[in-house]
A and B are shown apart, each in its own frame.
Chain A
Amino acid sequence: MEVLKVTDLSFDYPDKSILHRISFTVNKGDFLCIVGTNGTGKSTLLKLILNRLKPLEGRITLFGENSANFKSLYKIAYVSQKATSFNRDFPATVEEIVSLGLYSKKTPLGFLPPESEKMIDDALETVGMSDYKHKKIGRLSGGQQQRVFIAKALISKPEIIFLDEPTVGIDIKAVDSICCLLGELNKKGITIVMVTHDISSILYHSSHVLLLFEDGSSEMITSEQFGQSSVLSHVHHHTSEEEFIPKSMKKRL
């Protein structure tokens, strides 16, 4: 089943053209990683899909509906890079932050449904943060905060989660555990679309990789194909991120 379809999408910033006639499809249960060097438009692509920016050309559909008119917001969730820029003194508990994910379920007078307490507990248990329910969000580490933000995304039981570099600024151990968590969520049937620089999450958890190039073009490959190019680059002792991009694509970088 098709959950996201991008057709001939183009976008320019006033001083730079970044996405040119991009097309790809994400099906239910896919785990797509969006990869590219800085400035190739990874985060911009997410913003276009989420209707935060208007495309120059092209069409984006979510669950068959044009993304500009998409009304079933409970079906999608978004996790930003917030953990890296979060204010330590923000006076809210983990429970209060996760409850924000139930916004679409609130009554007209702003009350949450009676089952919200259990839903919060379940979401926190899924991400392994039950013990931190009453802690202030600003007192947690970056990795723990990101787990809470994933719980906030999960609580509305979305069918697809978009993540914008969720592991940036987080220590390596926490990165691994977040990647494993995302892999487990994907196995439970949640479709995941993630902008990332993290190679392990691509190699071990994703099903597809969307490569964005500096000339504005793109190519969708499977994670196995990506792995082969990655292994190849390891053999040649390369470390920079663009070396993980298949050789056939390199000339276009």
Chain B
Amino acid sequence: MEIFTLGFMQRAIVVAICISIITPLIGNTIVLKRLSAIGDALSHAGLAGVAIGLCFGFNPVFTAILFSVISALIIEFIRTRFTNYSEIATAIVLSFAVGIAAVFSGFISNSASFNSFLFGSIVAISEQELIVVVMLAVIMLLTIVFLRRELFYIAFDEEGAELSGVKVKRINTLFTIITAVVVAIASRTVGALVISSLMVIPVACAMLVSGSYKQNIILSVIFALFFTIAGLIITSFYDLKPGGTIVLIGIATLIILLPFRRDD
């Protein structure tokens, strides 16, 4: 347990807790709107931002946030043009982001730095990044809590929500921006390639055992906290990649829970 006295591990744990609380909160809305692939598209957009940031000497976390937000707005725009085929938007942005990331990653001199964003790195979090992550997480959490009723209504019935006075377009855009920011900041710890899994798997586990929407939200946060904390502990002992370890714990939990699905 000596490892938890080390500064980098303490920072990693704090960041992991922040991410584990906000990621499934976003994931609930994304999964229920059947837009699970959006996390993939935005994390790849973040990766493109990282590649450009590292290439041109900017802070990669900020370029990742910038690229993810721009991509999120493009997705939202395309989604309104293909209302019945909204997954087209995520596929287009994902392909574009992979193209940019692939091209610019070839010009990065320090490939280890780029790899740390692909699969996450607990040693990569600086004091400055910790402060940014905690502040953003608090802002995102308050926004989601404030909009909880609107997000639930939109996830259930977008048309009905609009007719009841919910500002659906405005909230959808804001929510997509929040998703982009969370994906970008979380990619530092768990990795861009696995952050979307952290949005979906805890929610999927919760859906198997929850008895209500409220329970689903609480349980998905508990599952995400368990996956990330357990993942970080295992990582620190066996020198594994944190992102992959966290996701594998999540998948194992999902498999264990499958036979216990509630049918009432």
Interface residues in chain A, defined as those with a beta carbon under 8 Å from any beta carbon in chain B = 50, 52, 73, 76, 78, 80, 82, 89-93, 95-97, 100-101, 103-104, 106, 109-110, 134-136, 139
A91 touches B160 (CB 8 A): no
Residues of B within 8 A of A110 (CB): 145-150
Q: Across the A-B interface, give the 8 residue pairs with the lowest CB-CB distance, nearest first.
A: A92-B213, A91-B216, A93-B212, A103-B164, A110-B149, A73-B165, A96-B213, A78-B163
Instruction: Tell which of B32, B145, B165, B263 touches A103, judged by Cβ atoms closer than 8 Å.
Output: B165
B159 touches A91 (CB 8 A): no
Tell me the nearest residue of chain B to A93, going by C-beta. Answer: B212
5 contacts between A and B (CB under 8 A): A52-B159, A91-B206, A93-B212, A100-B164, A110-B145
Instruction: Tell which of B145, B150, B160, B165 touches A78, judged by Cβ atoms closer than 8 Å.
Output: B160
B148 touches A73 (CB 8 A): no
Interface residues in chain B, defined as those with a beta carbon under 8 Å from any beta carbon in chain A = 32, 145-150, 152-153, 156-157, 159-166, 206-207, 210-216, 263-264
Residues of A within 8 A of B263 (CB): 139
With the chains together, A73 CA to B160 CA distance in Å? 12
Q: A90-B32, A109-B146 are contacts. A82–B211 as well, Cβ < 8 Å?
A: no
Tell me the nearest residue of chain A to B153, going by C-beta. Answer: A100
Distance of B123 from chain A, by nearest CB (Å): 37
B210 touches A91 (CB 8 A): yes
A100 touches B264 (CB 8 A): no
Distance of A145 from chain B, by nearest CB (Å): 12
Q: A91-B216, A93-B213, A139-B263 are contacts. A73–B164 as well, Cβ < 8 Å?
A: yes
With the chains together, A90 CA to B163 CA distance in Å? 21
Q: Is the interface of B mostly helix, strand, loop or mixed?
A: helix
With the chains together, A96 CA to B166 CA distance in Å? 17
Tell me the nearest residue of chain B to A110, going by C-beta. Answer: B149
Distance of A72 from chain B, by nearest CB (Å): 10
Distance of B203 from chain A, by nearest CB (Å): 9
With the chains together, A101 CA to B166 CA distance in Å? 12
A91 touches B212 (CB 8 A): yes
Tell me the nearest residue of chain B to A109, going by C-beta. Answer: B146
Instruction: Tell which of B145, B146, B156 touches A90, judged by Cβ atoms closer than 8 Å.
Output: B156
With the chains together, A101 CA to B163 CA distance in Å? 11
Instruction: Tell which of B146, B150, B212 touches A92, judged by Cβ atoms closer than 8 Å.
Output: B212
A80 touches B159 (CB 8 A): yes
With the chains together, A160 CA to B160 CA distance in Å? 15
With the chains together, A92 CA to B207 CA distance in Å? 10
A91 touches B164 (CB 8 A): no
Distance of A22 from chain B, by nearest CB (Å): 21
Distance of A5 from chain B, by nearest CB (Å): 19
With the chains together, A80 CA to B156 CA distance in Å? 12
With the chains together, A93 CA to B157 CA distance in Å? 15
B207 touches A50 (CB 8 A): no
- Beyond the given A73-B163, A92-B213, A100-B149, please list 18 additional residue pairs across the A-B interface where CB-CB is below 8 A: A52-B162, A52-B163, A78-B160, A80-B157, A80-B159, A80-B160, A90-B156, A91-B32, A91-B207, A96-B214, A100-B160, A100-B164, A103-B166, A106-B149, A109-B146, A110-B145, A110-B147, A110-B150
Residues of A within 8 A of B207 (CB): 89, 91
Residues of A within 8 A of B213 (CB): 91-93, 96
With the chains together, A104 CA to B163 CA distance in Å? 11
With the chains together, A110 CA to B150 CA distance in Å? 9
Tell me the nearest residue of chain B to A97, going by C-beta. Answer: B156
Tell me the nearest residue of chain A to B157, going by C-beta. Answer: A82
With the chains together, A101 CA to B157 CA distance in Å? 12
Residues of B within 8 A of A101 (CB): 164
Distance of A63 from chain B, by nearest CB (Å): 15
